[in-house]
Amino acid sequence: MRRMRALDKTDPDDPRGFTQQANIHCAYCNGAHDQLGYPGLDLSVHYSWIFFPFHRWYLYFFERILGSLIDDPDFALPYWNWDNDTDNPRGMQFQAIFNNPNSPLYDSFRNQANVPPAVASLSLRNKATEPTQIISENLSIMYNKMIGGVNSATDFMGQPYRAGNQVPPMTDAGTVERGSHIAIHVWVGDPRQPYNEDLGNFYSAARDPVFYAHHSNVDRMWTIWQGIKTRYRKTITDPDYLNASFLFYDEKKRLVRVKAGDCTDNKALGYQYQKVETPWECYRLRKTVLPVMTKEIARGAPGPEKVFPVGLKETVRVVVVKLSKGNADDWLVLEDIQTDCTKLVKFDVFVNDEDDEPGEPDRPGYAGTYAQLPHRVYSSQIKGALKLGLKELYENIDVGDQESVVVTIVPRINGEVVTIGGVKIIPASR
């Protein structure tokens, strides 16, 4: 890293320099370029099925450049296993190697409150301060985003993004991208800066060296998910996905084009991840002891037609009709979500929670999260629909033969810039 940073001074135009490498993320992520052949349409590698392939290739060439600069072809990027609470030091703490002011791995634009012994919060709940509670929430979120809330390849990878499409809304992101990935960006970013720089904003994120260790763990989540046994097919065969291509400079300063379909197998690219424990795999949300009856907890909550569209200045609680009785394979859909893309935004969704304003995401009724990093697009306000799987959640809350459920939407960060057009339950389509 020291040699890469040295290039910033000796040859600022060298594509292998740290600043030039950091600018790659900004170029692909913040509306810097139009789609080829579609003037006025942003090109973005976030919030869709190309999120994982782009960042894998990005790390691949970054690692090769570092290895070349130190004449070590076997050099490997470390990953920050923020999903693991069992290591010493804990993976869920900021790693000391990045916190030495005299190291090239240091970045002054970080949240100074989130150094050890602080535990990283994947829920971003300011009210959660007890380490054991934060860890419990983190493990629940990891299970939800990797297993419980994933019922198809695009649930995990993200929704299709094709040439000529508008820039994807956050709701098209895969479960990990909009979950733990964004949470760590926000947790490390510096709240003293106007846009939560460095890690807390797309344009500046790669200026922090910890970005690469963070995204190495995000990439590791992709490899772990590929190995989890499921009933759904994980391979994406759509040519628009397989042939999506990106341009990077390699270790010899050559501009090369690579495709999403060529990076599915990390072993084929010449690397594997050191195996460590993944305690979240067995951390399914606890089931309710007794069924929660909708009529008993509704407490006069209205139907969606009387509430939406609504701004999210405060918690919203509505009764939503199910399409069928029992533990059906349903989606909860929050429609026409509109936010200010230049703001950090987060809200949580719960189903049949007894509290009027639920807190912890390690509750049986936790359905999912909307989380958005600040970024720039031509239109700062875009709409999307958030789909949350309910099949396993129905089992957790013992929904039984109830014909409706209570949906609670809790704003966490900047809810005042959020508008939601409606909420409904629909059959899941795969």
Does residue 247 sit in the same domain as residue 353? no
How confident is the model over 148-175, as pLDDT tens digits?
Answer: 999 999 999 999 999 999 989 999 999 9
Active site annotation includes 214? no
pLDDT digits (tens, 9 = 90+) for 38-74: 998 889 999 999 999 999 999 999 999 999 999 999 9
Q: Look up residue 147 and give its two tokens.
A: 């297993």
**289 assigned to some structural domain:** no
Q: Which of 46, 246, 347, 375 is catalytic?
A: 46
pLDDT tier, 290 (very low <50, low <70, confident <90, very high otherwise): low
pLDDT: is 379 or 334 the higher one? 334
pLDDT of residue 177: 97
- Structural domain total, the chain: 2
Radius of gyration of the chain (CA): 21
Q: Is residue 401 part of a domain?
A: yes
Q: Is 287 within a domain? A: no
Model pLDDT for residues 243-281, shown as the tens digit of each residue: 999 999 999 999 999 999 999 999 999 999 999 999 999
pLDDT at 88: 59
181 is catalytic: yes
Residue 360 in this model has a pLDDT that exceeds 90? no
Of 55, 98, 211, 375, the catalytic one is 55
pLDDT score at 293: 73
Out of 25, 62, 98, 248, which one is annotated catalytic? Answer: 25
Same domain, 219 and 309: no
Average pLDDT over residues 232-249: 97
Mean pLDDT of 178-199: 96
> Both 175 and 109 in a single domain?
yes
Report the pLDDT averaged over residues 222-242.
97
Q: Say yes or no: 278 and 393 in one domain.
A: no
Question: Which entry of 181, 211, 246, 350 is annotated as an active-site residue?
Answer: 181
209 in the same domain as 170? yes
Measuring CA to CA, how many Å separate 263 from each of 170, 244, 259, 322? Answer: 24, 11, 7, 40
Q: Are residues 335 and 421 in the same domain?
A: yes
* CATH code: domain of residue 145: 1.10.1280.10
Check whether residue 272 and residue 299 sit in a common domain: no
Q: Are residues 165 and 85 in the same domain?
A: yes
Please determine, for residue 85, whether its predicted confidence score (pLDDT) is greater than 60: yes
d(CA 421, CA 336): 5
Single pTM value for the model = 0.94
CATH number, residue 348: 2.60.120
Determine whether 33 is an active site residue: no
Q: Does residue 251 form part of some domain? A: yes
Among residues 237, 257, 282, which one ends one of the domains? 282
51, 54, 109, 202: the active-site residue: 202
Residue 288, domain member (yes or no): no
Alpha carbon distances (Å) from 54 to 25, 76, 183, 215, 336: 10, 18, 19, 11, 28
More confidently predicted of 55 and 379: 55
- Check whether 341 has a pLDDT greater than 90: no
Domain presence at residue 169:
yes
Mean pLDDT (whole number) for 24-35:
86
Residue at 159 is within a domain: yes
Given the residues 94, 156, 214, 215, select the one marked as catalytic: 215
- State whether 262 and 301 are in the same domain: no
Does the structure show a pLDDT above 70 at 225? yes
Q: 270 and 318 share a domain?
A: no
pLDDT of residue 292: 67
Which has the minimum average pLDDT: 21-30, 204-213, 294-303, 309-318? 294-303
381, part of any domain:
yes
Beta bridge partners of 405: 320
Q: 401 falls in which pLDDT band (50, 70, 90)?
A: confident
Q: Which of 225, 260, 282 is the last residue before a domain boundary?
A: 282
- Domain interval for residue 376: 294-427
Specify whether 258 is located in the same domain as 298. no
Mean pLDDT computed over every residue of the chain: 92
Of the residues 226, 257, 282, the one at which a domain ends: 282
List 54, 61, 62, 185, catalytic entry:
185
Both 65 and 163 in one domain: the answer is: yes
